[in-house]
Amino acid sequence: MIRGTTPTFTLTISDETVDLTQATHVYATFKQGNNNAVTKMDEQLVIYPNAVEVYLDQEDTLKFKEGVVQVQMNWVYANNSRASTDTATVKIGANLIPKVLPEV
């Protein structure tokens, strides 16, 4: 991912017994260090049985510095049981114009 861009990530769960469409809440979190985090949840995601699509806008990606960001999904079922994925990493690249660009 490049800072200041608008990527869409597809986060997939390999466990075929999981059905995220049955979860009460689904979260996708991108975190770098202790302070920089972006969490999208529920209606901010496109939720499939074993995957979610997460759209990050320019402001979201500009919160991160060049380096690595951890990514994790969490979800909660109606009985309040909670599950999560292991963390994965995404490399963050520099942008020569590190600011939000105006819409066309």
Q: Using one digit for the tens of pLDDT, what is the confidence trace for 64-86?
A: 999 999 999 999 999 999 999 99
pLDDT tens across 12-65, in order?
Answer: 999 999 999 999 999 999 999 988 999 999 999 999 999 999 999 999 999 999
Q: Work out whether strand 36-41 and strand 25-32 pair parallel, antiparallel, or are unpaired.
A: antiparallel
The per-residue DSSP string of 49-86 comes to TTEEEEE--HHHHHTSPSEEEEEEEEEE-TTS-EEEPP
In the chain, domain spans: 8-92
